[in-house]
Amino acid sequence: MNAVASEPAVRLQGVSRVYQQGKVAVQALAGIDLEIAKGDFAVLVGPSGSGKTTLLNLIGGLDTPSAGRIEVAGTEIGGMSRAQLSAVRLHKIGFVFQEFNLIPVLSALENVEFVMLLQGVSTAQRRARALGLLRELGLEGLEHRRPNELSGGQQQRVAVARAIAAEPIIVLPDEPTANLDSKAGAALMDMMRRLNEDKGVTFVFSTHDAMVVERARRVIRLRDGRVESDERKR
């Protein structure tokens, strides 16, 4: 297991998020203080409406806080412009969505290469990195298949490869097992745990799945927009 580095990958200080629904203000998060260390394998859990997805979206720069401060690798992202946030997401944050979000007209290999293409990585380097990741994730021989020619579990593995190919600070899987059967979901989680242990990739999951919680090393429970408990497993 990797030693957790002292400098956090993400730091939240007094973070709140209020949404306006008509004339009603709805507080999704209320004064969250949280640090995610480099090398963490953490999960956000809680009932529907507890703030899991909102918190994940704020960490990922897909949403902005109503109050408080969010830092990713020491850089505050709360007050950034859309263009600045896009650059942070491109270089520092990897996403894994429950709907896979692969580009249907691209092959598995091209999907994994896509973010690196946007980053300006050379053709040879991105091809070698993408092929290596697909091989590590058990997709050798399927590189040139399009998403509709892959199973759900295979598509989700491609999505994970795409997320980590860009070498981000942190990977944020949102309900990654929701559209997978139990066997494929367990295989996916075991694979991500290996990436965490062997390569030091930092993961923060949002989930309702007890199997995901079981495999996490840190469990952050949310309720009514607040951190109810934060437990590290031995």
pLDDT digits (tens, 9 = 90+) for 79-118: 888 899 899 999 999 998 878 889 999 999 999 999 999 9
**Could you tell me the residue range of the domain that residue 143 belongs to?**
8-232
The secondary structure element, H or E, covering residue 63 is none
Query: Is 126's pLDDT higher than 90?
Result: yes
Task: Let me know if residue 1 belongs to a domain.
Answer: no
With a CB cutoff of 8 Å and minimum separation 6, the contacts of 31 are: 14, 15, 16, 68, 226
Task: Let me know if residue 117 belongs to a domain.
Answer: yes
Task: Let me know if residue 3 belongs to a domain.
Answer: no
Task: Let me know if residue 173 belongs to a domain.
Answer: yes
Task: Find the CATH number of the domain harbouring 14.
Answer: 3.40.50.300
Question: Residues 88, 77: contact at Cβ < 8 Å?
Answer: yes
Task: Let me know if residue 2 belongs to a domain.
Answer: no
Question: Could you tell me the pTM of the whole model?
Answer: 0.88
Give the pairing type, strands 41-45 and 24-37: unpaired
Average pLDDT over residues 38-64: 92
